[in-house]
Structure 1
Amino acid sequence: MHYRGLLYRALNPIWAREPLSGEGARRFGGRFNPKGTPTLYTSLSIMAAIREANQIGTLQPTTLVAYRADLEPVFDATDASNLHRYGLAPADLAANDWRIRMQENRKAPTQILAEQLVAAGYAGMLARSFVNGATEEDRNLVLWTWGDALSCLISVVDDEGRLS
């Protein structure tokens, strides 16, 4: 699929000066990336972005950033038939054991799926948000390839230079 529109992230202020780095995900890993793989986790709504950035405990300081995006190809993981082609079901994406598997130096099925999609040439994946308080309508766009390449355009909305 092709995605064109705005995306959002609620960044830890540590990363606010590098809102396109994917460095935090590279260092620590995530549901859709093993450690060592830079990944940009974005949301299609501001509230989903805030929930994603504050999954544990009370709301922590965050820097809300918007991006203009024009991305393809994007794998649509909200379509169960697409997941089925990779031997997964929607419940597999929602499983919360990915952190435990990483602690055991193993990969979660969602991380293996991400590696397969990267190898197949996908720039990213559209998926439901699975954080507490998320609804069926909350969506994330997880990116493994981004920048200023023609098919993976993403730029920070910072018309006034506040992040520089």
Structure 2
Amino acid sequence: MSLAERAAIAQRIKLRLPDLSSWSGVLHRVASPAFARQDDRLAGVGAARFGGRWNPLGLQAVYASFEEATALAESQSIEEFYGLIPDDLRPKTLFRFRAAGLRVLDLTEGSLRNRLRIGEKRLLGCDWRLPPDRSDDGELLAEPLTQAVGRVAAEAGVHALRVPSTRIRGRHNPVVFPRNLPQPDMLQTLHPSDL
């Protein structure tokens, strides 16, 4: 996505900010043990370090799911992408957390995607693993669509995106931008002593 297109989407997202829904509930997350420690599990530092479908490098994001099965399926995408076999797989931690009062940009709503001029097929078909285009002096020229959408939503102050799952048709996942939360207790691990 070019910078001009990103700027246009940013403007359309800003126009939608008054219409954001508020969401509270229990979410499921799978993380490697390195990012499941108390200080890291809801900070989005792994996503910031490696980038993800909805966040470019440097942007903290917490990937979660509304259902446990979807969280597990989403966590397997990296292994499948790299063709890893069971002997290559590292342990994972599955945990639940409560989210309270998140202002959500719901990209699963067709009417919102229409207003933003972003089709579902385009979102789901985006190859976010492609490196962003940069000029010779390192200036960003273009980046994958989904990362651009995540970037402009986070810059606009959105707490979370609701996005279609690429693993299970008809399921949705939240992507939370923890730095945008006005209170740290808006995300709380359930049963933290069990981890």
With the shorter chain as reference, the TM-score category is: 0.7 to 0.9
CA displacement 1:29-79 (0-9 Å, x = unmatched): 111100010100010000111111111235642110100111331001001
Question: Match of 2:162, SS?
Answer: strand
| C-alpha RMSD of matched pairs (Å) | 2.2
Q: Identity of aligned pairs, percent? A: 28
Residue 162 of structure 1 corresponds to: 194
Q: Judge conservation of contact 1:16–1:63 (CA < 8 Å) in 2.
A: yes
Matched length: 158
Q: Unaligned 5+ residue runs, structure 1? A: none
Q: Which one of 114, 117, 127 corresponds to residue 163 of structure 2? A: 127
Residue 65 of structure 1 corresponds to: 95
Question: Match of 1:99, SS?
Answer: coil
Question: Match of 2:95, SS?
Answer: strand
**Normalised TM-score (structure 2):** 0.73
Q: Which one of 94, 102, 113 corresponds to residue 149 of structure 2? A: 113
Residue 75 of structure 1 corresponds to: 105
User: In 1, Cα distance between the equivalents of 2:59 and 2:70?
Assistant: 23
Q: Which one of 12, 27, 49 corresponds to residue 32 of structure 2? A: 12
Give the CA deviation at 1:122: 0.9
Give the CA deviation at 1:92: 1.8
**Normalised TM-score (structure 1):** 0.85
Residue 149 of structure 1 corresponds to: 182
Which of the two has higher C-alpha Rg? Answer: 2
Q: Judge conservation of contact 1:73–1:122 (CA < 8 Å) in 2.
A: yes
